[in-house]
Amino acid sequence: MLRAVIFDFDGVITDSEILHLRTFNEVLAQYDIEITTRDYYTQYLGSTDFDCFKVLSDKHGLRLDERGIESLVRQKNEAFEQLAKTEGRIIEGVRGFFELLRDNNVRMAICSGSLRTEIELLLDEAGLRHFFEAVVSAEEVKKFKPDPEGFLLALRKLNETGHSPIQPAECVAIEDSHWGLEAAKRAGMHTVAVTNSYDARQLASAEKIVGNLGELGITDLQQLCE
């Protein structure tokens, strides 16, 4: 039985990965470092901002300590906030899909490796915040995807306000990366992949693959949970 859908954020709800890349490079320009689009999607997508800057610091011999890396994270967050206000974009089909789930009494949550401020900024700008009962962001977990901690926390938050507990097998996780799909499977949830960031071959572990959420019907999700 389908009772809940848990969404990744970047690459599923909002087309903001390119904004993250641009703001990473804006901050890194002070060190004459640039992340290529190819490297971002193959090496850094799915990492936290802190981990990304830490890897780059080690790779390029910057020798930044934790305080220095945290400073870069703050600079990147400030740059992202400004860019998101003018160029943040919700992916086609998303709003209608949320309305479909709401009309069928399917509960919704977000499980993302992004910071809460980034998530809420884009949701508020798009007028989508009210659809979600729970949001799990990078600050709330110790282990990131492909670890299932985030998905299990999102489910626990939903169950804190519900009348009857939702089981993992009654949830569908919607992801755009193989790390996210693995995390959802390890949490015992069903999986749908959208090909916004990677092609279908790289997302083959998903139970269902679509080009965008507008291609999904409520019956598609219910069948996964039967």
Domain at 24, CATH number: 1.10.150
CATH number at residue 192: 3.40.50.1000
131-143 residue pLDDT tens: 999 999 999 999 9
- Domain hosting 215: range is 4-15+89-224
Peptide bond into 146 cis (omega under 30): yes
Q: Are residues 10 and 56 in the same domain?
A: no
Are the C-beta atoms of 197 and 218 separated by less than 8 Å?
no
Band (92; pLDDT cuts 50, 70, 90): confident
Name the domain count of the chain.
Answer: 2
Q: Are residues 217 and 119 in the same domain?
A: yes
Residue 67 identity (one-letter amino acid):
R
Task: State residue 68's pLDDT score.
Answer: 97
Q: Are residues 193 and 216 in the same domain?
A: yes
Q: Which of 70, 87, 104 is the endpoint of a domain?
A: 87
Q: Which long-range contacts (CB under 8 A, 24 or more apart) does 121-128 make?
A: 121/81, 121/84, 121/85, 121/88, 122/9, 122/13, 122/14, 122/16, 122/84, 122/88, 122/90, 123/13, 125/84, 125/85, 125/88, 126/14, 126/88, 126/90, 126/95, 128/13, 128/90, 128/94, 128/95, 128/98
Q: Are residues 29 and 41 in the same domain?
A: yes
Q: Are residues 9 and 53 in the same domain?
A: no
Band (41; pLDDT cuts 50, 70, 90): confident
Band (81; pLDDT cuts 50, 70, 90): confident
Closest C-alpha to 40, from 62, 16, 4: 16
Task: State residue 170's pLDDT score.
Answer: 98
Q: What is the largest CA-CA distance in the chain?
A: 54
Q: In the chain, pLDDT over 70 holds for what percent of residues?
A: 100
Q: Facing residues of 172 across strands?
A: 5, 190
155-214 residue pLDDT tens: 999 999 878 999 999 999 999 999 999 999 999 999 999 999 899 999 999 999 999 999
Q: Are residues 30 and 107 in the same domain?
A: no
Q: Are residues 165 and 72 in the same domain?
A: no
pTM: 0.85
Closest C-alpha to 21, from 5, 3, 41, 50: 41
Q: What is the mean pLDDT of the segment spanning 72-83?
A: 92
Q: Which of 52, 87, 122 is the endpoint of a domain?
A: 87
Task: State residue 48's pLDDT score.
Answer: 85
Q: Are residues 78 and 48 in the same domain?
A: yes
Residue 159 identity (one-letter amino acid):
N
Q: Are residues 103 and 170 in the same domain?
A: yes
> What is the rounded CA–CA span in Å between residue 48 and residue 142?
11
Q: Which of 40, 59, 87 is the endpoint of a domain?
A: 87
CB count in 10 Å sphere of residue 71: 14
Q: Are residues 101 and 210 in the same domain?
A: yes
pLDDT at 46 over 80: no
> What is the rounded CA–CA span in Å between residue 124 and residue 212?
21
> What is the rounded CA–CA span in Å between residue 48 and residue 113?
6
Q: Are residues 28 and 129 in the same domain?
A: no
Are the C-beta atoms of 3 and 170 separated by less than 8 Å?
yes
Q: Are residues 200 and 107 in the same domain?
A: yes
Average pLDDT, the chain: 94
Tokens representing 204 are: 């083959």
> What is the rounded CA–CA span in Å between residue 52 and residue 47?
6
Q: Where are the beta strands (DSSP E) in the chain?
A: 4-7, 107-111, 134-136, 171-175, 190-194, 208-210
